[in-house]
Amino acid sequence: MDSLEWKNKGKLVSIYNQRVFTIDVGNKEKETLVILHGYPTSSYDYYKVLPELAKKYRVIIHDHLGFGFSDKPIEYSYSLIEQADVALELWKQLGLKKVTLLAHDYGTSVATEIIARHNKQQINLQISSLILCNGSMHIELSKLRIIQKLLRNKITRKWVAKLTNYPIYRKNIRNVYFDKNKVTNNELQEMWYQLEHNNGKKVIHYLSNYINERYTFWHRWIGALKETQIPTKIIWAKNDPVAIDLIAGLLTIEIQNNELFWIDKCGHFPMLEKPNEWVKLVLN
């Protein structure tokens, strides 16, 4: 699927004076699944699995600000706290009262901020279940790529963002797959197109500050997972070179009501690398 076809599935919704690209598919009478995507990609990560998900759920997935087809303002914090604000306001505008929350990678930290507020009854949203996939919430265990380290550094990040090009991007995305042949050149080109869309390269170094926030808010967000009573399904690609399997193992100890499901011989993007296996675990 190309980017134009994906874009035509959604619409731009105004949230706090910013346009947020949102896909809302499936029967509105069914249970609602909301999805928080990862970094540095977009909602496009779910193009292979969306048709199956929509058979069971009303599926709502948006591009975080700074990603995909959403707005990418220059003067903006891109804090995970604000990304949570945007997600919650979007869901409020769509009239959601009860959801299953699924998050991957960067999205898992947005999710833990939402869970922290949910624990304190600060939001008017019932979360019936939580699904976590390959996210480095335990940032101290994460095996960050060199480019991630450079982009989070306040001295180097602006220059690295300027120098980043498609060959560098393509190499870094391929390297987080277990089977490098599972990602096509067309997919990589579409991912890059969406990253560049609307001057995206000018904000990518701001987006990378999420790594620093994972250290700053570690106690708040890991504490939220320890406190929550929400039934949680942990679906983890076992061969992820970034969000390693030790993180999933630790989450099973910390989250009170959880089940862990492994996807073997699979890297960081299980919904793209092993979509059939991944979607069966989500829908089970």
What global pTM score does this model have? 0.94
CB proximity list for 49: less than 8 A, separation 6 or greater: 271, 275, 278, 279, 282
Label residue 203 by pLDDT band (50, 70, 90): very high
Structural contact between residues 260 and 134, judged by C-beta atoms closer than 8 angstroms: no
Average pLDDT score over the chain: 94
* Structural domain boundaries in the chain: 3-283
- Tens-place pLDDT, residues 96-133: 999 999 999 999 999 999 999 999 999 999 999 999 99
pLDDT for res 235: 98
Neighbouring CB atoms inside 10 A of 12's CB total 16
CATH for 3-283?
A: 3.40.50.1820
Structural contact between residues 214 and 136, judged by C-beta atoms closer than 8 angstroms: yes
**Six-digit token pair at 200?**
């995206």
Cα distance from N-terminal residue to C-terminal residue, the chain: 26
- Tens-place pLDDT, residues 23-77: 999 988 899 999 999 999 999 999 999 999 999 999 999 999 999 999 999 999 9
pLDDT for res 42: 98
- Tens-place pLDDT, residues 271-284: 999 999 999 999 98
